[in-house]
Amino acid sequence: MRDWPGKRVAGGINFLRGRGRRFERALEKLDRLTDFANSGDVDLVVFSGDFTAMGTRAEFATARAAIQPFVTSPAEFVCVAGNHDIYTRTVVREKRFETTFEGLLETDLPDSRVDGPWPTVRLLGDDVAVVALNSAKPNPIPWRSSGRIPSVQLEALGEILQRSDIEGRFVFVVTHYAPCLADGSPDTPTHGLENAEAFLRTCAGIERGAILCGHVHQTYRVRIPAIGPEIFCAGSATMHELEGFWMYDVDGGSIAARRGRWTGSGYEVETLEANPLPEGGAQE
């Protein structure tokens, strides 16, 4: 209840004023997304956070039930928390995210964990690695929704990227907050990743990899000069009129990314011809 006078009242008003309606068909849309996970062609599903609006127990229970079809699908499942999931200090204290997603935050490199379950690392086959970092934190001030990757996680990421069993792989680095907007510029101090520069510096040397994020309600890809991996923001998979996601095909050291869209009754993925290679990009 101590959280209610601040963040949750503001979030609740925001929700009732329209945000909630934009997610009315979220469960139906998630159900359609499971078609991809069950297709047999998808090895890995990545959720980049914001499963809930205000991190309540009821929302977490609904979200966990909603993602169960992905968990039981043949695809591996990796997720990170969003700021809406780590909404208040109470949510953190009660470890609601970690408890709800227990069993889904497993890592193949337990010795590299430095901050609860983070970084979470998955080694897929012989050629892909996923490193998931937490950038979400409570923002008690109602008008703030910024994030930060704790420096211990960034240091751990740097060490992971140097490992001989990681170096030869295509590396997906996943976190909720976008390190930049669609035009490559920084997000605002009240909404963005506070230490985006340090994060990008840590990732700069990745020769074969991609940074996957969410938070910004726009599906985009962007490359920043001197930063090795391209950045892909999923946007929101289920938010009305902004639905989007990315489908990646990794082949050795290269990646082909196609944008997914909601058609009104299902999702479709663009052909590579409709999503041409960026200038100097790593697509093949």
Q: CB 49 → Fe ion: shortest distance, Å?
A: 6
Q: Which residue has the tokens 């953190």?
A: 92
Q: CB 52 → Fe ion: shortest distance, Å?
A: 11
82 vs 192 by CB, closer to Fe ion: 82
Q: CB 84 → Fe ion: shortest distance, Å?
A: 6
118 vs 170 by CB, closer to Fe ion: 118
Q: Nearest to residue 151, comparing CAs of 167, 139, 140, 135?
A: 135
**75 token code pair:** 């695809």
DSSP tag of 185:
P
* 261-270 long-range Cβ contacts below 8 angstroms, 24+ apart: 262/29, 265/32, 266/32, 266/35, 267/29, 267/32, 267/33, 267/35, 267/36, 267/243
85 vs 230 by CB, closer to Fe ion: 85
Residue 6 and residue 214: Cα distance in Å, rounded? Answer: 25
Q: Name residues whose C-beta falls within 8 Å of residue 236's C-beta, 6 or more positions apart in sequence.
A: 50, 214, 217, 242, 243, 244
Burial zone of 136 (CB within 10 Å; 0-12 exposed, 13-18 middle, 19+ buried): buried
**88 token code pair:** 């208040």
51 vs 267 by CB, closer to Fe ion: 51
Residues at the contact surface with Fe ion, assessed by CB under 5 A: 50, 82-83, 215
Residue of minimal Cβ distance to Fe ion: 215
215 vs 259 by CB, closer to Fe ion: 215
Q: CB 176 → Fe ion: shortest distance, Å?
A: 6
Q: CB 14 → Fe ion: shortest distance, Å?
A: 13
